Structure 1
Amino acid sequence: MTMTSCANTPPETPEEATSTTAEREFYQLKVYTFDTDEQVAMTDNYLRDAFMPALKKRDIGPIGVFKQIPGENDSTRRTYVLIPFSSLEEVVDLEAALGGDNEYQTTGSEYVDAAHDHPPYRRIESTLMQAFVDMPQMEPSGLENPRSERIYELRSYESPTEQYYHNKVDMFNAGGEIKLFDRLNFNAVFYAEVISGSKMPNLMYMTTFSDMASRDEKWKAFFDAPEWKELVAMEKYKNNVSHADIIFLSPTEYSDY
């Protein structure tokens, strides 16, 4: 979706900033990249048996764990972990809390104490986000069909400048893009502003579908919708996306989503 021009939206007052920020969750998206099947299995065991239980003891969750569906030009094995936090302090304090959790350290010892020449992954990439004003809390997809059939679509929209990025965020919120996704039952899990990541300035969001056919039908309905045609024609929203990444994911059997 490529559109833009900079919206001259007034800054929030201190009162508005306090009322909205207090309700908006923070998200960490961790992406594990693997070289071997053994690494995949070791990290799955760690996430399922040690990491997720440790976070839930601290009332952090629900947590989504997904596998990337390989594409024609990218067969790299990746696991995506989506974690909601109530505050930035909770993000910062987590590592220290896990370091003092004996049950976590014992259960996850294969991963935690892995040798330098036998690591459980190639690399971890982390993105920190804050939920959009118009969807301040993460929501389960609500799908009831078998997990193996579901498609989770993760999108990242990059903008040419920070100004255009804020314009695209405004398009989702005040512009009504989120409302259109809701009307067409895209089953969004989250919409978020990226605070820290490798592709800034950008936003990210995740929608869910019962299968790929349903996904294709809903996107066709989106582009055919009168609300979208009106929105994309607005001069103030021109050129606010310079690049889009679309990633298809499948939930693990132990994911909370």
Structure 2
Amino acid sequence: MLAFFSVCSVQEIQAQTNKGYYMLKVYHLKNSAQQQLTESYLKEFYVPKLHKLNIKNVGVFKTLDQDTTNKRIYVLIPFDNWKKIENLDANVSDETTQAGRDYINADFKNPPYTRMETIILNAFATRTSPSVPKLTAPKADRVYELRSYESATEQYHRNKVKMFNSGETDLFDRIGSNPVFYGSVIAGAKMPNLMYMTAYDSMKERDKHWEVFSAAPEWKVLIAKDEYKNNVTKNDITFLHPTDYSDF
């Protein structure tokens, strides 16, 4: 620790401690009873509690897939420093509402989910905070696209992040794909990888935007560069729609 402070300036230390982070919580549900219990907790207790803690722009999304045995709820929580992540559980652990008590004190025979996973991401240096998309369609019609890009090694992962910061993020902005966040996973089951989310008024609009992206001259130049070859080994896409209590 002493060596760290001896070689880092005050400005560098502040830059490292003030960068943006995201927590992405994924609730896996097997039936409507679990979904109802978890959603009541999130809507009536958890999200309002985060707002009281001055954590804004909390996103809550549900999968569009038709598999009723593996429904998922995604909760996106932004943080402006690491300390808030460390203290999160302690700050939201009180049981001040009925929804909170029902969820927290659920019996082991009737849990509110089959499994919950937590992913921690470091925000891209060029996009350190989330953006609320400017959409006009009703929330029930909107489509959010969550992508995960896995790489073969940490070096290839860093190369893909560099590729995003060298033009991909600017292209998403230019064509109006409503990017919500970009992040590099620092704790999760699938590593090394990055994740990002874009938003659209409909699936039709989503398809149109990707056609524009693929045909964009700057993308063709970027993808042709040898330095960015083979930096993604797997691409997972999850389509989501926001809940009525989501900030996004």
Deviation at 1:68?
A: 0.6
What do residues 183-218 of structure 1 show as CA deviations (whole Å, max 9, x unaligned)? 011100000011101110000000001111111111
Deviation at 1:60?
A: 1.2
SS in 2 for 1:108: helix
For residues 139 and 23 of structure 1, what CA distance do their matches in structure 2 show? 18
Q: Which residue number in structure 1 is paired with residue 89 of structure 2?
A: 95
> What TM-score, normalized to structure 1?
0.89
Q: Which residue number in structure 2 is paired with residue 86 of structure 1?
A: 80
Between stretches 160-169 and 48-57, larger displacement belongs to 48-57
For residues 152 and 125 of structure 2, what CA distance do their matches in structure 1 show? 22
5+ residue gaps, structure 2, are: 1-6
Aligned partner letter, 1:27: Y
For residues 16 and 131 of structure 2, what CA distance do their matches in structure 1 show? 18
CA distance 1:21–1:142, shift in 2 (3 Å)? farther
SS in 1 for 2:162: helix
SS in 2 for 1:82: strand
Q: Which residue number in structure 2 is paired with residue 49 of structure 1?
A: 44
Q: Which residue number in structure 2 is paired with residue 112 of structure 1?
A: 104
Q: Which residue number in structure 2 is paired with residue 62 of structure 1?
A: 57
Q: Which residue number in structure 1 is paired with residue 194 of structure 2?
A: 203
Aligned partner letter, 2:184: E
CA distance 1:145–1:78, shift in 2 (3 Å)? same
The number of residues matched between the two structures is 241
RMSD between aligned residues: 1.8
For residues 68 and 23 of structure 1, what CA distance do their matches in structure 2 show? 32
5+ residue gaps, structure 1, are: 1-12
SS in 1 for 2:87: helix
CA distance 1:212–1:17, shift in 2 (3 Å)? farther
Deviation at 1:17?
A: 4.6
Q: Which residue number in structure 1 is paired with residue 229 of structure 2?
A: 238
CA contact (8 A) 1:64 1:81 kept: yes
Between stretches 45-54 and 23-32, larger displacement belongs to 23-32
Deviation at 1:133?
A: 0.8
For residues 181 and 130 of structure 2, what CA distance do their matches in structure 1 show? 5
Deviation at 1:83?
A: 0.5
SS in 1 for 2:96: helix
Find 1:144's aligned residue among 119, 132, 136: 136
CA contact (8 A) 1:30 1:124 kept: yes
CA contact (8 A) 1:184 1:222 kept: yes
What do residues 143-200 of structure 1 show as CA deviations (whole Å, max 9, x unaligned)? 1211111100000000000000000000011x21111111011100000011101110
CA contact (8 A) 1:34 1:77 kept: yes
Aligned: 1:161 with 2:156: no
Deviation at 1:142?
A: 1.2
Deviation at 1:36?
A: 1.2
Find 2:113's aligned residue among 100, 108, 121: 121
SS in 2 for 1:117: coil
Q: Which residue number in structure 1 is paired with residue 35 of structure 2?
A: 40
Deviation at 1:103?
A: 2.1
Q: Specify which structure has the bigger relative contact order, considering alpha-carbon pairs within 8 angstroms and separated by 6 or more residues.
A: 1
Find 1:213's aligned residue among 195, 198, 204: 204
Q: Which residue number in structure 2 is paired with residue 7 of structure 1?
A: none
Between stretches 18-27 and 112-121, larger displacement belongs to 18-27
> What TM-score, normalized to structure 2?
0.92
Aligned partner letter, 1:127: I
Deviation at 1:14?
A: 4.5
Percent sequence identity over aligned pairs: 44
Deviation at 1:86?
A: 1.8
For residues 169 and 69 of structure 2, what CA distance do their matches in structure 1 show? 32
CA contact (8 A) 2:150 2:193 kept: yes
Q: Which residue number in structure 2 is paired with residue 186 of structure 1?
A: 177
CA contact (8 A) 2:185 2:194 kept: yes
CA contact (8 A) 1:23 1:136 kept: no
